[in-house]
Structure 1
Amino acid sequence: MRIKVFILFISYLICNQSLSFSQTKASYPQRFFDPGKLTEVGVYYYPEHWDESQWERDFANMKALGFDFVHLAEFAWAHLEPEEGIYTFEWLDKAVSLADTYGMKVIMCTSTATPPVWLLRKHPDIAIMKENGMRLDHGARQHPSFSSTFYREYSLKMIEKLAQHYGPDKRIMGWQLDNEPRPAADYSEVAQQRFRDWLKTRYKTIDKLNKAWGTAFWSQVYNDFSQINIPQLSVRFMNPHQILDYQRFITDETVSFLDDQARTIRKYASPDQWITSNYIPEYGDGHLRASKEQDFPTYTRYQVFGENLGIGPRGYRLSHVERIAMANDFFRPVRNLYGVMELQPGQVNWGQINPQPLPGAVRLWLWHVFAGGSKFTCTYRFRAPIYGIEMYHYGIVDTDGITPTRGGLEFKKFIEEIKLLRKAYNPKAKNNAAYEARRTAILYHHENTWDMQRNKQTTQWNTINHVSKYYDALKSFGCPVDFIEEQTDFNNYKIIIAPAYQLIDSSLVKKWTAYVEQGGNLILSCRTGHKNRNGQLWEAPFAAPIYELIGSKIDFYDLPLPETPNHVLFGNIAYPWTSWGEILLPDNGTEIWGTYEDDFYKGSTAITFRRLGKGTVTYVSVDSQEGKMEKEVLKKLYSRLSIPVLDLPDGLHIEYRDGFGIAVNYADKTYTLPVPENVKYLIGDKTIPTAGVSVWVEN
């Protein structure tokens, strides 16, 4: 199998000689994984935290539990380089050798989230400066600035040494860059200058910047780039266009720092070693899908940390069904695969309230990650810490270093169940045809979230919640969902939803129009098309560039008070809304699907549908309170398009991958699965309890 994959990859390289190495590498990440293994499971281990005499016992216990790989050196810079220019890899070499002795591969990490104290004391300006002038200090993590030129350069020296040492090592399966990297505001002078330089590159002249930022307003005009400072984000009335560009800048700083690391590692890494970073799925973060040099993304997911989510009074012990599902569907389309680098093994310590997960929850989450297509899942961490800020955080084994926790035993059970699936794996098997026929794309761009969250116009608006209303409806239909970007080939999807897509340009409208005319079905929702890419309103009626596409005009929009919701009538049911509603003036030939029920615009149009060429456009001008209206609109559209959908109850998800059907149940009740009677169950059966999992193949 490995020889065949290698031959395919070489053929791919020959056929694509014009592509850069990074483009080619990113185009074929599947080569890193044996499809017959389906998925692999690993665990974080920190040998530097424990007496060396215990290491071999720990590695032996990892293997006994069934782990395939171990994750090392994430926060170990002070141990790798205890003094400037003095590198000590002997201790890490021993840990890698022990992993190999017990048949486990290694994920090697760069330690850039935790620079050693000697570096910070010698160069205090590498630390982030807050808006109030305070610098972060040693003793935490993720305190260095991605905008510190010196820090970036010095980090790459350490990474190069690490890559030279472990790049040729066949025991290393892949690399993780940094840890949960996220854009952070830094007000240091070097960051200020890098922002000015970034703006010069973007706009070329100060006149173009002034126009893009609308600086004629409030006498904000700049005469030179040197006059520009980083916007004070805590000030309510700062220029929104300047803030939009600053968010772009710190996103680029994060991405370029990670990509510089990847390029450094790739100079020495074996072709069999992949490169990734682990992201927190906060969908307003702009860097999550932007790296060009990483092979694929991975994400971190903690489900239970005291938030009031889930179904029923104890739902917080399982969490919301969409937390894992949406992360799967968001990251998978980037490279057509993904991994999960941190999955909660049990109770955590950093929430405001830290309850125990429900028995069976950890296994449920593992199966849900797998259902979305993950190639591996890793958990933080093997041994529960006995000192440091993460005391009381569960591990795979307890604080004695030996006894498996309940979560550890659930990992063991999942690993054993995956071995059963490997025996049943058929590389020629296809996913359920009806499932694939329902595949839907959500067009999403983080800059829309930035712009709307900064200028919400009402406390009731939440961009991600709005997107989730459409996403949740699709998952209740049993739809496979891909979050896509504007450069994606729209024609790969029969249905595309672009919720609240506020920032647009003429090229996007043309692409939407061509997609519909060629037979695509487009759903747009409120706030779409209100602004250009600089976040400025059009010198025209609200959203005028999309009028021809949707077959309607927007008369005005309204924002009711929370205490007095208005209603939209759709299908003889009145749905409450308080967030955002646009009053439409439909053209002749545009169907009216929903109308407003209250206030001075009672009877006005709220939801429209029209045919355009071979396809259709649906416009939903209102954001309902609970998302039930959005679900019914989609249900009507799928029926009109003759696409059969499921009607799954809250908390139940069904996915297919590699020919296997997988159901997970987050609800507080037992369900009967709506699947054919002739399927063969490999895990569970047709009746699925709370925290239950069923896996089947279709005969």
Structure 2
Amino acid sequence: MKKILCSALMLSLTLNGFAQKKENYFPDSQLTTTGAYYYPEHWDESQWERDFKKMAAMGFEFTHFAEFAWAQLEPEEGKYDFAWLDRAVALAAKYKLKVIMCTSTATPPVWLTRKYPEILKKHEDGTSDDHGSRQHASFSSEVYRKYSVKMIAELAKHYGKDNRIMGWQLDNEPASNVDYGTDAQNRFRVWLKDKYKNIDALNKAWGTNFWSVTYSSFDQINLPQHAQWGMNLYHQLDHSRFCDNETADFLDMQAKVIRQYSTPKQWITSNYIPNYESRYIGNSKELDYITYTRYMVYGEHNGIGTKGYRVGDFSRIAMSNDYFRPLSPYYGVMELQPGQVNWGSINSQPLPGAVRLWLWHVFAGGSKLMCTYRFRAPIYGYEQYHAGIIGTDGVTPTSGGLEFEQYIKDINLLRKKQSPGKVPADYLKRKTAVLYDPDNTVAIRQNKQTTVWNTEAHVLKYYKTLKGLGAPVDFIRDSTDFKQYPVIVVPAYQQMSKALIAKLTTYAKAGGHLVLSARTGHQDEQGHLWEARHAEPIYPLIGAEIEFYDLLKPHAPDNVKMEGQSYAWTSWGDVLKPTGSTKTWATYAGDFYEGKPAVTFTNLGKGTVTYVGPDSNTGDLEQAVLTKLYKQLNIPVENYPAGVTVEYRDGFGIAMNYSDKPYEMKLPAGTEILVGKPTLNTADVLVWKIK
């Protein structure tokens, strides 16, 4: 009998340009593998063996080298020193620790920045970065690309056939490459020419007849001044796309170099901060899979209850899992917070148990790899006071380190319990997709129409409701096969091609169920308003017209009434006019359009379409609509309180509690509890298998 997997993990291995790989980098029997960053160059060499021995004794299976070590790898131009790194690799191998080898392109050496200062990023105001930090060199610099390729080639020649090296990480937390240097200017013009082919096509796409912006040559186009009032929106939007493309392309360039010298058994990845407006995530076609980094407690997210800031918001890991997984054949987490950090606004101690909770949450989403930054807490440099697995004395495990150790022991237990477990049929019936395009988020941010609007917060109102209903969720793109999802939520999908509208229509007519929300379908795929009534191309899909939209002042929110309940809204409201047999589920109250439809529901072929016109203040309306819809569709749901989330993977059920109150899990007969207890206190985890 084949292993039963959570349907949310059933992936197309050709998504987003990733080709299916023959190599089985992460065998199913392993479930996941856990490691820790180590910087040999930071510590006296006499301590290395002690540290690797301790790392292995705590259960870690790999370590992570050379991320910021270009100055040590190439101390002088063209002179490479791998001897120290060879000794570190050998010592790690002595204790059966595999190694992730990193390219060091986030930190160029000073000889390079001083010889070629033009590699440093130039800002819109004309100032430039200087040596001494990280990510201060431009991916658009032709000089920087040339020297990066030379260094990476030497590194790959040296370690590409080394079976102690499990894989490669490119750069570190690469971000959108925003640079106003000469090379960036030239590359932007080439990128535009490749995209539009001729200047007339660009002028049409950008609407340059407006305000006499018209160009007669690509050479006339400069990098846009985003700070300049009234700058052409499409010019700015294409520039942001270009900046993201430069990042994806820079990583692809590195991967191609490594593949010239490496064995196919070594995988290649990069680690991204989960910024959901970043189009470079998943768009480097040469990677084998992608990873993310996640820090949960640093003063910015309060969580649930007075002390929720010590645990963090559950959606930060949940959404990262569900966003990254569908973009890649599999995913991993390259940095997970081991304790206090040093760079946040308020660097509090995590709640005891929180680190272990985060580890299990990453695992629950299907991660194949887990790494933590870092093994030893630094005693100098910018990240002083950042916790590690081991404290500043180099020998004593921190509380977070002990939680990592316990998690690894628990994973080893699960490895022994891998006879297939059952995944509840009701869980699979709730499988839901969120159709999302980061380009929409960027485009909306450029022209929000109201300062109150926040696209990510809007999406989270639907997402958090879905997790509360116990639904497995995938974030998908318009190229995905929609048929595998009983329900698809389409929140604030402002730029929508007629081809996508047709695809959504076909999906619904064939029996799928759509939920569309405020701001959807207002523009075509180029970001132009339709030469028609407002959002008219989606009228047949939603079974209603959008008469107009309204934007309220924050001091004067209004309400939407649904089944006797009132729901406050402020930021955006599409006012609807049903057509045909479309039903009204909710109406506006409190203004000149009181009684007008706010939420509509219609049958379309064998399926249904629900349109939610307003963006509620707290997400309570979105929760009410989805709850009503799933009940009407006879899709069984749970009613987990905020902060309690449940997932299945590899036949194991995992429940986690981020809330400030205990929660009692009701498990079916025949359940074998492997980790934890049914009563979940804050930060507790429960793992079980249904026989």
Instruction: Name the TM-score class by shorter chain.
Output: over 0.9
RMSD (Å), alpha carbons: 1.6
- Counterpart selection for 2:31 from 22, 35, 38: 38
Q: Percent identity?
A: 59
TM-superposed deviation, 1:209: 1.1
Please say if 1:553 is aligned against 2:577: no
Q: Distance in 2 between matches of 1:193 and 1:285?
A: 23
Aligned residue pair count: 680
For 2:119, the aligned partner's letter is I
CA deviation vs aligned residue, 1:498-542 (integer Å, no higher than 9, x gap): 100001111111111111111111111110111122211111111
Q: Distance in 2 between matches of 1:128 and 1:692?
A: 45
Q: Distance in 1 between matches of 2:604 and 2:542?
A: 9
- Counterpart selection for 1:173 from 152, 166, 171: 166
Please say if 1:282 is aligned against 2:282: no
TM-superposed deviation, 1:562: 0.8
Match of 2:512 in 1: 520
Q: Distance in 1 between matches of 2:432 and 2:295?
A: 27
Match of 2:156 in 1: 163
Report the secondary structure of 1:277's partner residue.
strand
- Counterpart selection for 1:328 from 321, 325, 328: 321
**1:507/1:296 Cα in 2 relative to 1: closer, same or farther (>3 Å)?**
same
Q: Distance in 1 between matches of 2:230 and 2:390?
A: 51
Report the secondary structure of 2:647's partner residue.
strand
CA deviation vs aligned residue, 1:219-265 (integer Å, no higher than 9, x gap): 21212211111111223421111111111111111111101111111
CA deviation vs aligned residue, 1:592-615 (integer Å, no higher than 9, x gap): 111111200000011111111111
Please tell me whether the aligned partners of residues 282 and 328 of structure 2 are also in contact (alpha carbons under 8 angstroms): no
Please say if 1:481 is aligned against 2:476: no
Q: Distance in 1 between matches of 2:303 and 2:206?
A: 42
Match of 1:633 in 2: 625
Q: 5+ residue gaps in structure 2?
A: 3-12
Q: Distance in 2 between matches of 1:416 and 1:308?
A: 30
TM-superposed deviation, 1:26: 2.9
Report the secondary structure of 2:403's partner residue.
helix
Report the secondary structure of 1:200's partner residue.
helix
Q: Distance in 2 between matches of 1:433 and 1:522?
A: 21
Match of 1:586 in 2: 578
Please say if 1:237 is aligned against 2:230: yes
Please say if 1:421 is aligned against 2:414: yes
Match of 2:137 in 1: 144
Match of 1:339 in 2: 332
Match of 1:470 in 2: 462
Q: Distance in 2 between matches of 1:520 and 1:29?
A: 34
Match of 1:658 in 2: 650
TM-superposed deviation, 1:678: 3.6
CA deviation vs aligned residue, 1:286-341 (integer Å, no higher than 9, x gap): 11121211111100000000124201111000000111000000001122421000
Please tell me whether the aligned partners of residues 29 and 296 of structure 1 are also in contact (alpha carbons under 8 angstroms): no
Report the secondary structure of 2:293's partner residue.
strand
TM-superposed deviation, 1:56: 0.5
Match of 2:285 in 1: 292
- Counterpart selection for 2:202 from 209, 220, 223: 209
- The higher-RCO structure (CA 8 Å, 6+ apart) is 2
What TM-score, normalized by structure 1, do the two folds share? 0.95
For 2:591, the aligned partner's letter is D
Q: Distance in 2 between matches of 1:92 and 1:629?
A: 57
Please tell me whether the aligned partners of residues 244 and 279 of structure 2 are also in contact (alpha carbons under 8 angstroms): yes
For 2:573, the aligned partner's letter is G
Please tell me whether the aligned partners of residues 36 and 62 of structure 2 are also in contact (alpha carbons under 8 angstroms): yes
Match of 1:314 in 2: 307
Report the secondary structure of 1:691's partner residue.
coil
Please say if 1:451 is aligned against 2:460: no
Please tell me whether the aligned partners of residues 30 and 337 of structure 1 are also in contact (alpha carbons under 8 angstroms): no
For 2:642, the aligned partner's letter is D
CA deviation vs aligned residue, 1:39-71 (integer Å, no higher than 9, x gap): 111000000011111111110110111100001
Match of 1:405 in 2: 398
Say which is worse superposed, 680-689 or 39-48, in terms of deviation.
680-689
Q: Distance in 1 between matches of 2:364 and 2:238?
A: 37
**1:514/1:144 Cα in 2 relative to 1: closer, same or farther (>3 Å)?**
same
Q: Distance in 2 between matches of 1:100 and 1:432?
A: 42
Please tell me whether the aligned partners of residues 26 and 296 of structure 1 are also in contact (alpha carbons under 8 angstroms): no
Please say if 1:262 is aligned against 2:262: no
Q: Distance in 2 between matches of 1:177 and 1:572?
A: 55
Match of 1:113 in 2: 106
For 1:434, the aligned partner's letter is D
Please say if 1:571 is aligned against 2:557: no
- Counterpart selection for 1:221 from 208, 214, 225: 214
TM-superposed deviation, 1:151: 1.0
Please tell me whether the aligned partners of residues 129 and 186 of structure 1 are also in contact (alpha carbons under 8 angstroms): yes
Say which is worse superposed, 431-440 or 350-359, in terms of deviation.
431-440
For 2:658, the aligned partner's letter is Y
Please say if 1:492 is aligned against 2:484: yes
CA deviation vs aligned residue, 1:388-422 (integer Å, no higher than 9, x gap): 10001011111111111100011001011111111
Match of 1:461 in 2: 453
Match of 2:7 in 1: none
For 2:496, the aligned partner's letter is I
Please say if 1:616 is aligned against 2:608: yes
What TM-score, normalized by structure 2, do the two folds share? 0.97
Report the secondary structure of 2:63's partner residue.
strand
